[in-house]
Amino acid sequence: MGAIAKQILDDQEKLVLQDDGAVKNDQGTVQFDQIQVDYCHITAPIAGRLGLRLVDPGNVVQSSGTTTLAVITQLDPITVIFTVPEDSLGPVESRLRKKATLAVDAFDRTAQRKIASGKLLALDNQIDTTTGTVKGRSLFDNKNDALFPNQFVNTRLLVNTLHGVTLVPASAIQQNGQASFVYVIQNNVAQMRSIKPGVTDGGLTQVDGINPGDVVANSGFDKLQDKVAVVTSNQVSTKPAAASPSGSSAP
């Protein structure tokens, strides 16, 4: 039976532990070098569009300095800042308290071409007393890059949809001080009818005070007499109307 002294066994065990320690020390050195290599590459924390470089090759850049190499702007998703008149804030907040998702459409500078559709993300916590408006932030999925950072757009916020209301052309509504009225044509006779206008969308205004099918005058108001000849009739219609206060915005 073979045997060795306990001192020799202890020495060999300590040598094994010493070699394990050397291996771990070398592993630590490798990991440290890998981190240093990672520091040689700049990785952006977000995906987006990289702006023009702010430094040139040969410039001295220090890790402790404040020099900015370039600016990255996130494009997808992107947010748009717009304003809501304080008079329209009540209906908007009422819908938000009901956990409703309010749609926001972004139009070009002429407000004729729709660029993208998104949703209201949040409202600011105070009204700007100089303009009487409150800021809102809307979120857009900008997968086709239709919206560009700092681009000026016009926004339309859809607050509510009214069903079964009476609509007339906005140009048919006349004002007499604070009162609103239209001229209703019955049997070729123009009659003034008081109305209560509501929201306006797409050139049509929701009104109370007249019935669907009534013919209203839409032009030549200064020439109206007791007897009129109806050339073109604008039939009052009943269909959904969008209650949508709108405002200009710049992201």
d(CA 203, CA 201) in angstroms, rounded, equals: 6
Domain covering 164-240 in this structure, CATH number: 2.40.420.20
Task: Give the tens place of pLDDT for each residue, 96-153.
Answer: 999 999 999 999 999 889 999 999 999 999 999 999 999 999 999 998 899 999 999 9
d(CA 86, CA 134) in angstroms, rounded, equals: 6
Cα→Cα distances 196→161, 174, 176, 178, 186, Å: 18, 11, 13, 11, 20
d(CA 241, CA 251) in angstroms, rounded, equals: 28
* pLDDT score, position 155: 94
Calculate the CA dihedral of residues 105, 110, 112, 117 and round it to 10 degrees. -20
Q: Would you list the domain boundaries of the chain?
A: 1-40, 78-158, 164-240
Task: Give the tens place of pLDDT for each residue, 157-194.
Answer: 998 888 888 899 998 888 888 889 988 888 888 888 89
d(CA 156, CA 82) in angstroms, rounded, equals: 9
Q: What is the Cα Rg of the chain in Å?
A: 35
Q: Which amino acid is at 205?
A: T
d(CA 111, CA 103) in angstroms, rounded, equals: 17
Q: Is there a shared CATH topology between the 78-158 domain and the 164-240 domain?
A: no
Position with higher pLDDT, 242 vs 97: 97
Task: Quote the CATH superfamily of domain 78-158.
Answer: Efflux pump adaptor protein, beta barrel domain (2.40.30.170)
Q: Which amino acid is at 148?
A: F
Q: Tokens for 174, please give them.
A: 């006349």
**pTM for the whole structure:** 0.61
* pLDDT score, position 113: 93
Contact 132, 201 (CB under 8 A): no
Task: Give the tens place of pLDDT for each residue, 38-89.
Answer: 888 777 888 888 888 888 888 887 777 788 888 889 998 999 999 999 998 9
d(CA 216, CA 230) in angstroms, rounded, equals: 10
Task: Give the tens place of pLDDT for each residue, 214-228.
Answer: 888 888 777 776 555
